[in-house]
Amino acid sequence: MAMAYSCSSATSFLFLSIILFLSLVSFTFATTSTDTISAQHSLTGNQTITSGGGTFVLGFFTPQGSGGNYYYVGIWYGKISVLTPAWVANRVTPVTDPTTSELKISDDGNLVLLHQFKSIIWSTNVTTISSSNSTVAVILDNGNLQLRDGSNSSLVFWQSFDHPTETYLPGAKFGFNKITKRSQQLTSWKNKVDPSPGIFTFEMGPNGLLQYLILWNMSRIYWASGLWDGYEFSSVPVGYMYHMQLVNDTDEMYITYMLDIANHSMYREVLDYDTGQIQGLVWMENSKSWMLIWAQPTSKCSVYGVCGPFGSCTDFTSPFCYCVKGFRIKSQTDWDLGDRSQGCERKTGLQCSGLNNSVDSEKDGFFEMTNVRLPDSPNTLSTAGSREGCELSCLRNCSCNAYSYNDSGCFVWHRGLLNLQEQYNQSDAGTLYLRLAASELQSSESNKRMATHISVGVIVPAVVVCLFIIGGLVWKRERKRAIQNSKVVQNSLVSFMYDELRIATKNFSEKLGAGGFGSVFKGSLPGSIDIAVKKLEGLYQGEKQFRAEVSTLGAIQHVNLIRLIGFCSQGTKKLLAYEFMPSGSLADHLFRSNLNVLDWKTRYQIAIGTARGLAYLHEQCRDNIIHCDIKPENILLDDALVPKVADFGLAKLVGRNFSKVLTTIRGSRGYIAPEWISGMPITTKVDVYSYGMMLFEIISGKRNLMYTGESSFEFFPLVATNKLVIGDVKSLLDQRLEGKANSEEFEIACKLACWCIQDNESSRPTMSQIVQALEGNLDVGIPPVPRSLQVLNESWAESINSSSSHQN
Ligand SMILES: *[C@@H]1O[C@H](CO)[C@@H](O)[C@H](O)[C@H]1NC(C)=O
Ligand SMILES: *[C@@H]1O[C@H](CO)[C@@H](O)[C@H](O)[C@H]1NC(C)=O
Ligand SMILES: *[C@@H]1O[C@H](CO)[C@@H](O)[C@H](O)[C@H]1NC(C)=O
Ligand SMILES: *[C@@H]1O[C@H](CO)[C@@H](O)[C@H](O)[C@H]1NC(C)=O
Ligand SMILES: *[C@@H]1O[C@H](CO)[C@@H](O)[C@H](O)[C@H]1NC(C)=O
Ligand SMILES: *[C@@H]1O[C@H](CO)[C@@H](O)[C@H](O)[C@H]1NC(C)=O
Ligand SMILES: *[C@@H]1O[C@H](CO)[C@@H](O)[C@H](O)[C@H]1NC(C)=O
Ligand SMILES: *[C@@H]1O[C@H](CO)[C@@H](O)[C@H](O)[C@H]1NC(C)=O
Ligand SMILES: *[C@@H]1O[C@H](CO)[C@@H](O)[C@H](O)[C@H]1NC(C)=O
Ligand SMILES: *[C@@H]1O[C@H](CO)[C@@H](O)[C@H](O)[C@H]1NC(C)=O
Ligand SMILES: *[C@@H]1O[C@H](CO)[C@@H](O)[C@H](O)[C@H]1NC(C)=O
CA separation for the pair 768, 770 (Å, rounded):
5
3-state secondary structure of 388: helix
More confident residue, 259 or 160: 160
Residue 12 domain flag: no
Do residues 203 and 322 both lie within one domain? no
On the 0-12 / 13-18 / 19+ scale of CB atoms within 10 A, 509 is exposed
Residue 95: its pLDDT value, please?
A: 95
Q: Is pLDDT above 80 for 446?
A: no
Do residues 624 and 765 both lie within one domain? yes
Residue 375: its pLDDT value, please?
A: 95
Q: What would the pLDDT profile of 479-517 be if each residue is shown by its tens digit?
A: 333 333 323 333 467 888 888 899 999 999 998 887 656
91 pLDDT band, cuts 50/70/90, is: very high
Residue 541: its pLDDT value, please?
A: 54
Do residues 75 and 25 both lie within one domain? yes
CA–centroid distance, residue 213 to ligand 2 (Å): 27
Kind of pairing between the strands at 564-570 and 494-495: parallel
Residues in the chain: 808
In b/e form, how buried is each residue of 92-124, taking b as 16+ CB within 10 angstroms? eebbeebeebbbbbbeebbbbbbbeeeeebbbb
Residue 631 known to bind ligand:
no
Q: Span 413-434, mean pLDDT?
A: 91
464 pLDDT band, cuts 50/70/90, is: very low
Q: Which of 37-46, 131-140, 284-293, 560-569 has the lowest mean pLDDT?
A: 284-293
Q: Is pLDDT above 60 for 678?
A: yes
Q: Span 467-472, mean pLDDT?
A: 30
Ligand index nearest the alpha carbon of residue 343: 5
Q: Is pLDDT above 50 for 30?
A: no
CA–centroid distance, residue 109 to ligand 11 (Å): 61
459 pLDDT band, cuts 50/70/90, is: very low
Please name the residue whose Cα sits nearest to atom 9 of ligand 7: 53
472-383-310 Cα angle (round to 5): 70
Q: Is pLDDT above 90 for 160?
A: yes
Do residues 596 and 716 both lie within one domain? yes
Please name the residue whose Cα sits nearest to atom 13 of ligand 6: 210
Q: Span 454-467, mean pLDDT?
A: 28
349 pLDDT band, cuts 50/70/90, is: confident
On the 0-12 / 13-18 / 19+ scale of CB atoms within 10 A, 304 is buried
Q: Span 290-297, mean pLDDT?
A: 75
Do residues 79 and 27 both lie within one domain? yes
CA separation for the pair 608, 600 (Å, rounded):
12
φ, ψ of residue 282 to 5 degrees: the values are -130, 140
Residue 224 domain flag: yes
Residue 796: its pLDDT value, please?
A: 46
CA–centroid distance, residue 330 to ligand 5 (Å): 19
Q: Span 134-139, mean pLDDT?
A: 93
Domain count, the chain: 7
φ, ψ of residue 407 to 5 degrees: the values are -55, -25
3-state secondary structure of 672: coil
Residue 747: its pLDDT value, please?
A: 92
Do residues 145 and 183 both lie within one domain? no
- At which of 425, 444, 463 does a domain end? 444
Residue 2 domain flag: no
Do residues 541 and 463 both lie within one domain? no
Percent of the residues in the chain that have a pLDDT greater than 70, as a whole number? 78
Do residues 244 and 170 both lie within one domain? yes
Mean pLDDT of the chain: 80
Do residues 388 and 478 both lie within one domain? no
Lining ligand 3 with CB less than 6 A are: 133-134
Residue 254 domain flag: yes
Whole domain around residue 380: which residue ranges? 360-444
CATH number of 118's domain: 2.90.10.30
Do residues 297 and 317 both lie within one domain? no
Residue 438: its pLDDT value, please?
A: 85
Q: Is pLDDT above 80 for 705?
A: no
117 pLDDT band, cuts 50/70/90, is: confident
HSE, CB side, 13 Å, CA atoms: give it for residue 87. Answer: 23
Residue 382 domain flag: yes
Ligand 8 pocket check for 358: Cβ under 6 Å: yes
More confident residue, 808 or 593: 593
Do residues 515 and 597 both lie within one domain? no
Please identify, by atom number, the ligand 8 atom nearest to the C-alpha of residue 359.
5
Do residues 725 and 601 both lie within one domain? yes
List all residues 6 or more positions away from 486 whose beta carbon is below 8 Å from its beta carbon: 525, 526, 527, 528, 529
- At which of 136, 163, 190 does a domain end? 163
Which of 358, 399, 412 is the best mutation target for the ligand 9 pocket, counting ligand atoms within 8 Å of the beta carbon and taking the most?
399
Task: Give helix then strand counts, H and E, for the chain.
Answer: 18, 44
Please name the residue whose Cα sits nearest to atom 1 of ligand 9: 397
Residue 702 domain flag: yes
Residue 648: its pLDDT value, please?
A: 78
CATH number of 593's domain: 1.10.510.10
Ligand 2 pocket check for 484: Cβ under 6 Å: no
Other CB atoms within a 10 A radius of the CB of residue 402 amount to 24
Residue 690: its pLDDT value, please?
A: 94
pTM value is 0.64
Residue 352 domain flag: no
Residue 353 domain flag: no
Q: Span 187-204, mean pLDDT?
A: 96
CA–centroid distance, residue 393 to ligand 8 (Å): 13
Ligand 4 pocket check for 154: Cβ under 6 Å: yes
CATH number of 509's domain: 3.30.200.20
Q: What would the pLDDT profile of 621-674 be if each residue is shown by its tens digit?
A: 667 888 888 999 899 999 899 999 988 777 776 655 556 666 665 666 678 887
Q: What would the pLDDT profile of 566-606 be if each residue is shown by its tens digit?
A: 888 887 788 889 999 999 899 989 988 767 889 999 999 99
Q: Which residues are annotated as catalytic?
A: 629
- At which of 99, 133, 163 does a domain end? 163
